[in-house]
Chains A and B, each alone.
Chain A
Amino acid sequence: MEERIITCINCPMGCRVTVRLENGTVTQVSGNTCKRGESYARQEVVEPLRMVTAVVPVEGSVLPLSVKTAAPIPKALIADCMRCLSGLSVQPPIAAGSVVVANICGTGVDVIATRSVAAVSA
């Protein structure tokens, strides 16, 4: 049996939630004040997920392009995701919401632009 303590992030209460695991399966959750705490702690011990946001250089501009993963990805893949983005640069025009990297690190999640960049006027 394994026991892990998770700080809930859903509100300023910051409940210390204790999760009991048997062979990788959650058997008991305690210490949470509300349901959100329970579902967060369950997810967090099994597979923690995070949104990743970053910037990517834009050719011909000092102002980089801000990007995000379209959905949270496994926390363990954040470093890989950043490495994949670090070699990249993009060419305007770019529309907000357009895909910058499809299926990043095999997560099934796209990295998308969070702002638009106008075409460079000649």
Chain B
Amino acid sequence: MIEIKRDIVIIGGGPAGLAAAIAAREAGITSLTVLEREAEPGGILRQCIHNGFGLHRFGEEMTGPEYAQRDIDKAREMGIEILCDTTVLSVEADHTATCVSPAHGLTVYHAGAVILAMGCRERPRGALGTPGTRCAGIYTAGSAQKFINLESLMPGRRVVILGSGDIGLIMARRMTLQGAKVLACVELMPYSSGLNRNIVQCLEDYGIPLYLSHTVTNVEGRERLTGVTVAKVDEHRRPVPGTEIHFDCDTLLLSVGLIPENELSKGAGVTLSPTTSGAVVDDSLQTSVPGIFACGNVLHVHDLVDFVSDESFRAGKMAAAYVRGSLAAGAELPVRDGPGVRGVVPQKLRLPVEEEVRLMFRPDAVYKNATVVVTAGETVLARKRSLILTPGEMAVIPLKPQEIPSCDGLTVHIERGNN
């Protein structure tokens, strides 16, 4: 077993880990290692060959691999050590990270600070309780994406997609362009959580029907999937008898949500939020365990990689400050979800507020002409109007540096408009 000391160890070499590493290096930390499980850095972006990334950060539309390459090139230029094929087995509250790799065997890192950047995973079939047989041919949309885009394999020929999240929509187009027949995209809710752009360009362009308020009620097939039954659901999301539609298909793709990948965080004793399934952090992105930071999709599931990078730059900068002993630790105020708001991050604010803090959350429904309001007791600290707020898009409200009146915490809520 090898033991190595580092100022900062970063778990994960996707967009979050790379941005955190770059920011930490820019803040003067040279003793720094990124541990990446896959053979190459870049994370999920490697398989996201479609375009639409980078508009906010770079002002241009890039594909996933192009976006990732910018950070990989920058990290390499800066001499940042990225160890691939390296799986982290555990992280401890004392900043020890144990990992294995074919090249170095078992290695234990003792770090000044740890940045958690493991990303998220897809909700699997087992979490859905879909009835029917356990046959082959059922994949999460992201697995199918990996097969096609990274391994040159085609998962199937006749496809039904359950869930209309963006990955499912993107895969409807991808499978079609690769010669498969996508029969239907089935969504439990009365609306799609995907972007309009993807509804139009991934479904409508190819004449793929979107069944809203429908779900898969049966899965058939012995060895391989042979068909699925889809039925309408009522307002309580229960299947309505007599509305069944049968599809002959060999493939069912699931795009039914993403969950932050926090197995390692739990082992380190990091407190998780039941709303975001990610760590509870303060505005420096520090978790409940001092010196352990979290950023990107492991903290809360983002829609845009640009925001992941932005958040992760901050985590890298703050972890560097922690290592140098210059991270201010003062009184903390909780930030709570008010009406209309789910999963505000950060959940805690250090006082005094000396630089702008971006409070991020998801609305619990669709709101038009609504206003996001941050309050401390009776005092309004920030207001921001939006033409539209939807659960499919993370909302952000900046909180300017200011005096916070004495109170037991801040609340973020949505004030309905007249529409």
Contact B49 A12 (CB under 8 A): no
Would you call A119 an interface residue if the criterion is a C-beta within 8 Å of the partner chain's C-beta atoms?
no
For residue A113, give the distance in angstroms from its CB to the closest CB of chain B.
9
Q: Which of B368-391 contact A (CB under 8 A)?
A: 387-388, 390
B residues less than 8 Å from A11 (CB atoms): 196, 387-388
Q: Which of A37-83 contact B (CB under 8 A)?
A: 50-55, 57, 62-64, 66, 68, 75, 78, 82
Would you call B273 an interface residue if the criterion is a C-beta within 8 Å of the partner chain's C-beta atoms?
no
Contact A82 B177 (CB under 8 A): yes
Would you call A90 an interface residue if the criterion is a C-beta within 8 Å of the partner chain's C-beta atoms?
no
B residues less than 8 Å from A14 (CB atoms): 196, 199
Would you call A13 an interface residue if the criterion is a C-beta within 8 Å of the partner chain's C-beta atoms?
yes
Contact of A51 with B51 at beta-carbon distance under 8 Å, contacts A8-B196, A114-B63 already known = yes
For residue B285, give the distance in angstroms from its CB to the closest CB of chain A.
27
Contact A66 B197 (CB under 8 A): no
Contact A12 B392 (CB under 8 A): yes
Would you call A96 an interface residue if the criterion is a C-beta within 8 Å of the partner chain's C-beta atoms?
yes
Would you call B416 an interface residue if the criterion is a C-beta within 8 Å of the partner chain's C-beta atoms?
no
Residue of B nearest to A97 (CB): B66
Residue of B nearest to A44 (CB): B200
Would you call B205 an interface residue if the criterion is a C-beta within 8 Å of the partner chain's C-beta atoms?
yes
Contact B387 A33 (CB under 8 A): yes
Q: With the chains together, A13 CA to B148 CA distance in Å?
A: 32
B residues less than 8 Å from A82 (CB atoms): 177
In-complex Cβ contact of B205 among A50, A63, A64, A66 (8 A): A50
Contact A62 B387 (CB under 8 A): no
Would you call B150 an interface residue if the criterion is a C-beta within 8 Å of the partner chain's C-beta atoms?
yes
Contact B49 A66 (CB under 8 A): yes
Would you call A18 an interface residue if the criterion is a C-beta within 8 Å of the partner chain's C-beta atoms?
no
0/1 string, A1-17, CB within 8 A of B gives 1: 00000011111111000
Contact A12 B388 (CB under 8 A): yes
Counted as pairs of residues, one from A and one from B, with CB atoms less than 8 Å apart, the total is 71
For the side of the interface on B, what is the size category?
Answer: 20 to 34
B residues less than 8 Å from A36 (CB atoms): none
Q: Which of B265-295 contact A (CB under 8 A)?
A: none
Would you call B149 an interface residue if the criterion is a C-beta within 8 Å of the partner chain's C-beta atoms?
yes
Q: With the chains together, A8 CA to B152 CA distance in Å?
A: 34
The winner among B69, B200, B201 for most chain A CB atoms within 10 A is B200
Would you call B393 an interface residue if the criterion is a C-beta within 8 Å of the partner chain's C-beta atoms?
yes
B residues less than 8 Å from A114 (CB atoms): 49, 63, 65-66
For residue B38, give the distance in angstroms from its CB to the closest CB of chain A.
11
Residue of B nearest to A79 (CB): B177
Contact A12 B390 (CB under 8 A): yes
Contact of A78 with B177 at beta-carbon distance under 8 Å, contacts A9-B200, A12-B392, A115-B69 already known = yes
Contact of A13 with B387 at beta-carbon distance under 8 Å, contacts A50-B205, A54-B49 already known = yes
B residues less than 8 Å from A116 (CB atoms): 69
Would you call B354 an interface residue if the criterion is a C-beta within 8 Å of the partner chain's C-beta atoms?
no
Would you call B235 an interface residue if the criterion is a C-beta within 8 Å of the partner chain's C-beta atoms?
no
Would you call B400 an interface residue if the criterion is a C-beta within 8 Å of the partner chain's C-beta atoms?
no
In-complex Cβ contact of A115 among B66, B151, B201 (8 A): B66
Would you call B50 an interface residue if the criterion is a C-beta within 8 Å of the partner chain's C-beta atoms?
yes
For residue A12, give the distance in angstroms from its CB to the closest CB of chain B.
5
0/1 string, B199-212, CB within 8 A of A gives 1: 11100110000000
Contact B199 A55 (CB under 8 A): no
Would you call B93 an interface residue if the criterion is a C-beta within 8 Å of the partner chain's C-beta atoms?
no
Would you call B75 an interface residue if the criterion is a C-beta within 8 Å of the partner chain's C-beta atoms?
no
In-complex Cβ contact of A55 among B49, B69, B200, B204 (8 A): B49
Contact B201 A50 (CB under 8 A): yes
Q: With the chains together, A96 CA to B67 CA distance in Å?
A: 12
A residues less than 8 Å from B393 (CB atoms): 12
Q: With the chains together, A22 CA to B196 CA distance in Å?
A: 28
| A–B pairs, 17, beta carbons within 8 Å | A7-B200, A7-B204, A11-B388, A12-B393, A14-B196, A52-B177, A54-B49, A55-B152, A62-B152, A64-B150, A66-B49, A66-B63, A68-B63, A78-B177, A78-B205, A114-B63, A115-B65
List 8 other contacts, CB 8 Å, given A9-B195, A114-B65, A115-B69.
A8-B196, A11-B387, A13-B387, A53-B51, A55-B49, A55-B152, A78-B205, A115-B65
Q: Which A residues have a C-beta under 8 Å from some C-beta of B?
A: 7-14, 33, 50-55, 57, 62-64, 66, 68, 75, 78, 82, 96, 114-116
Q: Which B residues have a C-beta under 8 Å from some C-beta of A?
A: 49-51, 61, 63, 65-66, 69, 148-152, 177, 195-197, 199-201, 204-205, 387-388, 390, 392-393
